[in-house]
Amino acid sequence: MTQPLALRRPPLLMSIEGQIQLVALADAAARRHPQVASLLHEEADRTELVAAAELPATTVALGSLVEFHDAGTGERRAVRLVLPGEADIAEGRVSVLSLVGAGLIGLSEGQSIDWPTQDGRMRRLTVLSVRPGSADL
């Protein structure tokens, strides 16, 4: 018997403001992106919350530049996690409402998460490095 998905997810950390923003985005996207909205709600519910000033720079938040490994494709990628209106794959900006963005938010350097793909398969995303939002792409 396989473990439920929730049991294979690492602890997450977010700022209180970031979690409020994430829940609002998930609520707004529920009709257009029900799978991602549901996953974001689950992640927001299990997140440890801290004041924004206490969020470590090595934790993925909106605006972070994240280098990660996708075990499903074998690729290493560097992306900036952004709001949906700022997303541009060609520029390396990934929406927090995408499956990859939703999977990365709240993770810290060195953490991995088993996360679904569009077709329902599972893949492991591992955060290799994080630079805060003020860093340039």
Give 58-86 pLDDT, tens digit per residue. 999 999 999 999 998 999 999 999 999 99
Q: Quote the CA–CA distance of 58 and 114 in Å, as a whole number.
A: 20
Overall domain count for the chain: 1
Listed in sequence order, the residues at least 6 apart from 43 whose beta carbon sits closer than 8 Å to its beta carbon are 9, 12, 22, 102, 105, 106
Predicted local distance difference test score (pLDDT) of residue 134: 54
Mean pLDDT across 52-61: 96
Count of residues making up the chain: 137
Give 2-19 pLDDT, tens digit per residue. 444 444 789 999 999 999
Mean pLDDT across 89-100: 94
In a domain, 97, yes or no: yes
In a domain, 40, yes or no: yes
- Which of 6-15, 30-39, 98-107, 116-125 shows the lowest mean pLDDT across its residues? 6-15
In a domain, 2, yes or no: no
Which DSSP state fits 71? T
Rounded to the nearest integer, the mean pLDDT of the chain is 90
In a domain, 43, yes or no: yes
In a domain, 3, yes or no: no
Contact 76, 69 (CB under 8 A): yes
CATH code of the domain in which 118 resides: 3.10.50.30
In a domain, 1, yes or no: no
In a domain, 4, yes or no: no
In a domain, 137, yes or no: no
Give 112-137 pLDDT, tens digit per residue. 999 998 888 899 999 999 998 753 33
Domain residue limits at 64: 9-131
